[in-house]
C-alpha cells in the first residue's frame, strides 16, 4: 500500500480530516484546492488475465452485473472498459 503525504492533485500538505467514506476509511480534504482523498488508497489493478475473461464474457451476452460478480471488478470500472472495447471494434460490425 502506498501512503500519501500530500494532496494527489496539487501536492499541498495542507489538508484536514473530512469525515469517513462509505467504506469506513478516513476521508481528507485539501485546503488549497478542495480535492477530497484518502491517505492510504486501495486501488485494484486489473491484469490482462481478467481483462481477457471479461472480453469473452461480454461476447456471451452475460449481464454486466453478472460479469462484475463473477470476475470481481466494479461496475464503474467495467463500463468504461466496455466502451473502450466497442470503440476499438471495426466500423463495419
Q: 69-92: per-residue pLDDT in tens?
A: 999 999 999 999 999 988 888 888
Q: Are residues 62 and 78 in the same domain?
A: yes
Nearest to 37 by CA among 60, 61, 6: 6
Say what the pLDDT of residue 2 is.
62
* Residue matched to cell numbers 478542495: 34
Task: Tell me how many domains the chain contains.
Answer: 2
In a domain, 93, yes or no: no
Per-residue model confidence as pLDDT tens digits over 31-75: 999 999 998 877 777 889 999 999 999 989 899 999 999 999 999
What range does the domain containing 32 cover?
1-43
- Say how far apart CA 54 and CA 75 lie, in whole Å: 12
Amino acid at each position: 500500500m502506498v501512503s500519501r503525504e500530500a494532496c494527489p492533485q496539487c501536492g499541498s500538505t495542507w489538508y484536514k480530516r473530512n469525515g469517513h467514506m462509505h467504506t469506513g476509511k478516513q476521508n481528507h480534504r485539501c485546503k488549497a484546492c478542495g480535492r477530497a482523498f484518502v491517505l492510504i488508497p486501495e486501488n485494484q489493478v486489473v491484469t490482462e488475465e481478467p481483462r481477457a475473461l471479461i472480453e469473452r464474457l461480454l461476447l456471451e451476452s452475460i449481464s454486466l452485473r453478472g460479469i462484475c460478480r463473477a470476475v470481481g471488478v466494479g461496475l464503474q470500472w467495467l463500463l468504461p472498459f466496455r466502451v473502450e472495447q466497442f470503440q476499438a471494434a471495426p466500423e463495419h460490425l
